[in-house]
Structure 1
Amino acid sequence: MSLALAVRLSPKQERSIAESTARLNIWWGAIRSGKTIASLIRWVTFVATAPRGGSLVIVGKTADTIARNVFDVLTDPAIMGPIAKRITYTRGAPTATILGRKVEIISSNDARSENRLRGMTAAGAYVDEATLIERPFWDMLLSRLSVKGAKLFASTNPDSPSHWLKKDFLDRAAELDLRQWHFRLDDNHSLDAAYVKALKSEYSGLWYKRFIAGLWVMAEGAIYDQFDEDRHVVDELPPMEKWLAAGIDYGTVNPFAAILVGVSTPDETGQRRIFLASELRYDSRVERRQLTDSEYSERLTNWLDHIPDAHGPGTRGVRPDWLLVDPSAASFIAQLYRDGHRPIQGDNAVLDGIRTVSNLIAADHLRVHRSCRGFLDEVASYAWDEKKAERGEDAPVKVDDHSLDAARYALHSTQAAWLRLLEPVPTF
C-alpha cells in the first residue's frame, strides 16, 4: 500500500520502510532523527494488509506515552496527509481504529494489560520505546505473534549496551528473523540547522551519546559532568520574575533538604535563567536529634518567610507556585496541609529528572547560589552505579544525594512551566 504523505522522507527512512519485511523490525537511534515516523508509516502500511485471524496491538510504557508518541503522529495531517482521517483514537481508550482495523492499545506498566496480552493471538504489533518495556512482557508479546505472517515493528532510543534488547536481539540479528536501522540526528534532513545546533548544545555526557549520536553506551562516571563551579555558581541573585518551586527531599535519619527555585528576569541579552536560590538542610546525625513532621514544617515555613530581598531590596518572604515533596513522605505532606501549605508529590522519575537537570546545565540555563552548600557538596560526587550499569541498569549511587533529589523534584516536576520562559526575549 502506498500512502499520500504530507512529509518528505529521507533515503534512510524510505529504505527502512521498504526493507522491513522480517518478523522483527526495529528502528533505533537519536531523538528527532526520523526513526519514529518511518516505523509508524511502516506500521500503517502493514495494518492495511495484515493477516486476518489475529489481533493487532500497539504497546507502550503508558497510555500517555502511546497517545503522545504514536497517535499524535498518526492523526496529524501535516505528517500523514489524508490518511490521518482514517485513524481514530480517544486518549486512554483500550482500542483504536486504523484503516478500518481494530487495534488493541496496551500499556506495559498496567498489570491488567498483561492479562489482555496473555490471552491474545496476534497478527501484528507496534512497540513504542522498546527499551522501557520489561523483558517478560516483551517475551510474552513475541509468543502471541503466532498468526502466519505476523510481524513486530518497534522504535527506541539506545540504552545501556548491556540492555536485553541490545544483547539478546539486536546483537543476534543474524541468528534471528530481525532487521534493524540505526538513525542519527543528522539523518533527519527536514530539521532546521539552527534547531539541530541548539539540540546538540542542550545535551551532554551520557544523554548526548545516546540521544544525539544514537549510541548504546554505558552510564559511567560523573552524572552532572558539565557542572562547573566557576561558571554555574553565583554569589548574588538577580531579581526573580517568578518564584517557581521549592523541592523537598524528606529525611528523618537521612538529611532533610529543601531547595528554592526561581526564574530570573531577562538579562541584557534577553535570556532568563533558573536559579537554585536558597537551601534549607537539617542532618539529624550531625545535630544528634531527629525532628518531628511538625518541627520540619515549622522550619520550612520560617525559611520561606525569611528569604531576603525576595521581591526587591528590603523585602522578605516568598511562597513559590509549587511545593514539591518526596512522594514517599506521606505523613509530612499531611502535616504541611494542616499548616496551611498546598504541597503536591514531586515527580520521582529518576532518570528523566536527571536528564532534565543535565540538559539545563548543558544549555547554560542553570545557576546555583553559593549558599546552597548541600547541593554543591553533592553535585561533584554524584556518579553512576557501575555495578548496576554492568547489569544494564542506569541508576545513580544512592549516597549523598538529598539536596540533589530536592532540586530534581523542583526542576523536573515544573518543566512545563519554565520551558517557554527560557526562550530568549527579543532585545531591540
Structure 2
Amino acid sequence: MTAVVDGPLLSPKQEFAIADSTARLNCFHGAIRSGKTVASLIRWVAYIANAPRGGSLVIVGKTADTISRNIFDVLMDPAIMGPISRRIIYTRGAPTANIMGRRVEIISSNDARSENRLRGMTCAGAYVDEATLIERPFWDMLLSRLSVKGAQLFCTTNPDAPNHWFKKDFLDRSHELDLKHWHFTLDDNPFLDPAYVKALKAEFTGLWYKRFIEGLWVMAEGAIYDMWDPDIHVVTSLPPMEKWLGLGIDYGTTNPFNALLAGVSVPDRMGQRRIYFAAEWRWDARAQRRQLTDGEYSKALSAWLAKIPDTYGPGTYGVKPQWTVVDPSAASFITQLYRDGWSPVPADNSVNDGIRTVANLISADQLRVHASCKGWLDEVGSYAWDDRKADKGEDSPIKLDDHALDAGRYLLHTTQAAWLPLMERLPA
C-alpha cells in the first residue's frame, strides 16, 4: 500500500497493521498512547480514497464530542496527517464531513435516533471509534448495512473486560470471521519521549498496568479478584490428588448450569498442598437451545465424573468427590440428587465471606485452576464490585457472568473445615 501522508514516521507495528488491514472487519486495539488510533485513521483515509461507490461512508463514535476529539482533531492536524489534513472538511457537531472528496456520515451511537439513521443505509465503509462503548444492537445493525461489495469496517478500542461481547464474539472468533486485529502496547510507539513512557509505566500497577500499558483485556476498575494472575494460577497439567474435595454446583435453567470439581493435591517439594479446580461441566440452555430436567442434569454429572481421568496414574478413570455442594436455591435439584443416591449439601451462600475465602486462597497461591475450566477462567477477570451499590455503602458484586465463580465459591466456602487444616505447609 502506498503512503497517504507526508508526516511523521510510522512504527513497524503501525506500518504492518495499515498494510495488513484487508479484511471486512479490521480492529486496532490495545494500550493508551500506543499509536493504534493514528494507524487506523491513516488506513481509513486511504480506504476512503478508493472506497466502492454506491453506498454511504460512516464514522461512528459514542458522542459527537468524542468523535470530534478522537477522530477529527487527529485527521485535521498537519503534524500528523501532513498535506492530507487540508482535504478533511468538518465542523464540530455537524452530521456530515467531507474526506478526500467523499461525503461521510457522522453518527453518535448514544443518540436513540442514531440507529434509525442506520436502518435505511447501504454502507460502503465504516469507521468506529471506541468500539467497546457501542451498544451491541447498534453494532449488529451497522454490520448488516455493510452490504456494498468490497465494503470494509475499521475500528479502535482500548481493552475492556475479558468477557466483553466484542472480545468474545468477534476478536476471539477472528479465525471464523473475515476479521483481522492488531494488539498494540505502549512500547509499540517508539516516538514517545522515554521520560514520559517511564513516568506512565510507574503510574500504573497490577491490572491497571496490564490494561493501559500492555493493552491486555483484563478487568481493572473494581475488580474483586485483583490478585488473580493467569501466569501463576492457571495450569495445563494436574498433580496427583490427596483427596477429591468436592463438586460445587450453580444451578441454572435459562441461565447456565455450572459444576466445578476441586481436589487437594499431595504436598509438593516444599511441603505445600494446593486446591485445584480440575474440571468443569457447563450447560447453557440458551446456547444449546434446550433445557435439561433435574434428572437429566443428575445423570449428565454422573456420566461426566465417570470419564474424568484420576491423577494416580494412566488409564484410571472416575472421580468420587467427598462433597457435593449445591446452590441453596435449587431445592428441586437437591431432592433429585438425593433420589439418585448423591449426598448433596446446600451451600453456605454468604457472598462476601465466600469471596474472601476464595481471595485468600488466590493471594496465598493455594488455589490453581486447570486451563480446561473455561467458564471460571472467562468470568474471573470480569468479576467486579457494583459501583452503584458501593455508592450506597454496600459491598456487592455485579450479578453478571458469575455462574462458574458461584459454583467455586459455594464449594470452597462451605467445605473450609475439610481443607483448611491441609493447607499448612509440612516440614521440609
Compute the TM-score of the two structures, normalised by the length of structure 1: 0.54
Q: Deviations over 1:344-395 (max 9, x none)?
A: xxxxxxxxxxxxxxxxxxxxxxxxxxxxxxxxxxxxxxx9xx9x96696865
Code of the residue aligned with 1:149 in structure 2: it is G
For 1:41, the equivalent position in structure 2 comes to: 42
> Are the structure 2 counterparts of residues 390 and 125 from structure 1 closer, same or farther at C-alpha, using a change threshold of 3 Å?
farther
Q: CA shift at 1:205, angstroms?
A: 3.5
1:53 and 1:390, CA in 2 relative to 1: closer, same or farther beyond 3 A? farther
In structure 2, relative to structure 1, the CA distance for the partners of 1:147 and 1:392 (3 Å cut) is: farther
Amino acid at match of 1:130: A
Report the CA distance between 1:218 and its aligned residue.
Answer: 3.1
Equivalent residue, structure 1, for 2:185: 184
| Structure 2: distance between partners of 1:108 and 1:396 | 25
Corresponding residue of 1:66: 67
Q: Contact 1:58–1:126 (CA<8 Å) still a contact in 2?
A: yes
Name the SS for the 1:33 alignment partner: coil
SS at 1:161 equivalent: coil
Query: CA 1:32 to 1:223, structure 2 compared with 1: closer, same or farther past 3 Å?
Result: farther
Q: 1:41 to 1:225 in 2, by over 3 A?
A: same
Residue of structure 2 in register with 1:396 after alignment: 386
Distance, in Å, in 2 between the alignment partners of 1:172 and 1:66 is 28
Letter matched to residue 49 of structure 1: N
Give the aligned partner of residue 130 of structure 1.
Answer: 131
State how 1:132-281 maps to structure 2 within 5 Å: 132-219=133-220
Amino acid at match of 2:391: D
Cross-structure match for 2:240: none
Contact 1:61 1:132 in 2 (8 A): yes
Find the aligned partners of 1:69 and 1:180 in 2 and give their Cα distance: 20
Q: Quick one: distance in 2 between partners of 1:224 and 1:23?
A: 37
What residue is the counterpart of 2:417 in the other structure? none
Determine the C-alpha separation between the residues in 1 that align with 2:222 and 2:106: 39
Contact 2:211 2:220 in 1 (8 A): no
2:23–2:152 contact (8 Å) kept in structure 1: yes
- Give the equivalent residue in structure 2 for 1:28: 29
Amino acid at match of 2:98: T
Cα distance in 2 for partners of 1:390, 1:111 equals 33
Map of 2:91 onto structure 1: 90
CA contact (8 A) 1:160 1:389 kept: no
Which residue identity is paired with 2:44?
Answer: W
Q: 1:19 to 1:174 in 2, by over 3 A?
A: same
What's the secondary structure of 2:219's corresponding residue?
Answer: coil
Aligned length: 247
1:260 aligns to what? none
Q: In the superposition, relative to structure 1, how do residues 218 and 126 fare at CA in structure 2: closer, same or farther (>3 Å)?
A: same
TM-score by length of 2: 0.54
With over 3 angstroms needed to count, the CA separation of the structure-2 counterparts of 1:142 and 1:399, relative to structure 1, is closer
Supply the AA of the counterpart residue of 2:4: L
Cα contact 2:57–2:103 (8 A) shared by 1: yes
Residue matched to 1:337: none
Measured after TM superposition, the shift of residue 6 of structure 1 is: 1.2
> Structure 2 vs 1, CA of residues 27 and 394 (structure 1 numbering), >3 Å: closer, same or farther?
farther
| 1:286 match | none
SS in 2 for 1:93: coil
CA apart distance, 1:19: 0.7
Q: Is the CA contact 2:223–2:381 (under 8 Å) kept in the aligned structure 1?
A: no
Q: Deviations over 1:100-154 (max 9, x none)?
A: 1000000110011111111110000000001111111100000000000000000
> 2-side partners of 1:394 and 1:58: how far apart?
32
Q: Distance in 2 between matches of 1:395 and 1:18?
A: 41
Q: Which has the larger radius of gyration?
A: 2
Quote how far apart the aligned CAs of 1:199 are.
1.2
* Corresponding residue SS for 1:146: coil
The C-alpha deviation readout for 1:290-324, integer Å capped at 9, x for no partner, is xxxxxxxxxxxxxxxxxxxxxxxxxxxxxxxxxxx
Letter in structure 1 aligned against 2:6: L
Match of 1:401, as an amino acid?
D
Are residues 80 and 395 of structure 1, via their aligned partners in 2, closer, same or farther at CA, if it must alter by over 3 Å?
Answer: farther
Would the aligned equivalents of 1:94 and 1:106 in 2 still touch at CA under 8 Å? yes
Match of 2:104 in 1: 103
What is the DSSP-based 3-state SS (H/G/I as helix, E as strand, rest coil) of the residue aligned with 2:104? strand
| Residues 225 and 381 in structure 2, CA contact (< 8 A), matched pair in contact too | no
Cα deviation for residue 4 of structure 1 reads 3.0
* Residues 121 and 145, structure 2, Cα contact 8 Å, conserved in 1: yes
Q: Which residue of 1 aligns with 2:80?
A: 79
Structure 1 match to 2:15: 14
Q: Is the 8 A contact 1:162 1:390 kept in 2?
A: no
Residues 159-188 of structure 1: CA deviation (Å, up to 9, x unaligned): 111011111111111111111100000000
| DSSP 3-state at the match of 1:9 | coil
CA distance, structure 1, for counterparts of residue 159 and residue 215 of structure 2: 6
Contact 2:61–2:107 under 8 Å retained in 1: yes
Return the alpha-carbon distance in structure 1 between the equivalents of residues 86 and 142 of structure 2.
29
The residue number in structure 1 matching 2:52 is 51
SS at match of 1:111: coil
| 1:225 to 1:142, Cα distance in 2 relative to 1, 3 A | closer
- C-alpha spacing 1:34/1:153, structure 2 compared with 1 (3 Å): same
Q: Is the 8 A contact 2:219 2:381 kept in 1?
A: no
SS at match of 1:56: strand
| Shift of residue 396, structure 1, vs aligned partner | 3.1
Deviation, 1:223, is 7.4
For the 8 Å contact 1:163–1:391, the answer to whether it is kept is no
The answer on whether the counterparts of 2:28 and 2:183 sit within 8 Å (CA) in structure 1 is yes
Contact map agreement 2:56 2:104 (CA 8 A) in 1? yes
CA deviations over 1:212-267 (Å, ceiling 9, x no partner): 110011358767989xxxxxxxxxxxxxxxxxxxxxxxxxxxxxxxxxxxxxxxxx
